[in-house]
Amino acid sequence: MHCDSLHTTSCLYCSEGHPLCIGVVLFPGFQALDVFGPLDVLNILSWSHNISISLLSLTLDPVLTKPPRKATATGQSILPTHSFASAPPLDVLLIPGGLGTRSLTAPVEHAINFIRLNHVRLKYLITIYTETTASRPQVEWAPHARWVVDRTTWAFSGVSARSDTILAWVGEVFGINIVEEIARGIEYE
């Protein structure tokens, strides 16, 4: 099931010659580390594996980490590569958390609709489960878990667990050799 060689250019989940297509949902007020931590791992993975990464939002305008209606002086922005309407077919979807999830602005509502329409076609969904439990009371919280896996859904337990989760997912899908190489490269212990 795994692609254990660092020099492998594809994995079991990739069609012949087609990349594993990974999408990252963006909305105003997303948690920067939920996006940039996994992106760093995925960027390194792309050096040796056939993957593509799409940054998705309501529009192609810059998306701020600053939460809507928050009196804060700073925030970073990132440019989406696709709108939700122009998103390519995806194999994997990464959904960050952040204060932006707590207000139902148009970008957040469109993100929720995009997820709702596309999650059944995904091979994997990777999300933060503190946000999941806040919006879905029937979700059972696993208090000491860094991440949990339910079939094809991977959920991490907070900002500091996102690196653990994305590395565990890479190890599951691409194999232990590649994840160890990436972990060494980012000085992750």
Decide the pairing of beta strands 153-156 and 147-150: antiparallel
The pLDDT score that the predictor gives to residue 69 is 74
Strand arrangement, sheet containing 82-83: 82-83, 51-57, 20-25, 92-95, 124-128, 153-156, 147-150
The CA distance from 89 to 118, in Å, is: 9
* Mean pLDDT, 10 residues at a time, the chain of 189 residues: 36 65 95 90 93 97 87 85 97 90 85 92 81 52 59 66 79 90 85
- Check: CB of residue 163 under 8 Å from CB of residue 184: no
| Burial call 148-170: b when 16+ CB within 10 Å, e when fewer | beeeeebbbbbbebbbebbbbbb
Query: Considering the entire predicted model, what is its pTM?
Result: 0.79
The CA distance from 130 to 125, in Å, is: 15
The pLDDT score that the predictor gives to residue 10 is 40
Q: Closest by alpha carbon to 35, among 45, 27, 46, 24? A: 24
Q: Which domains does the chain have, with CATH numbers?
A: 20-163 (3.40.50.880)
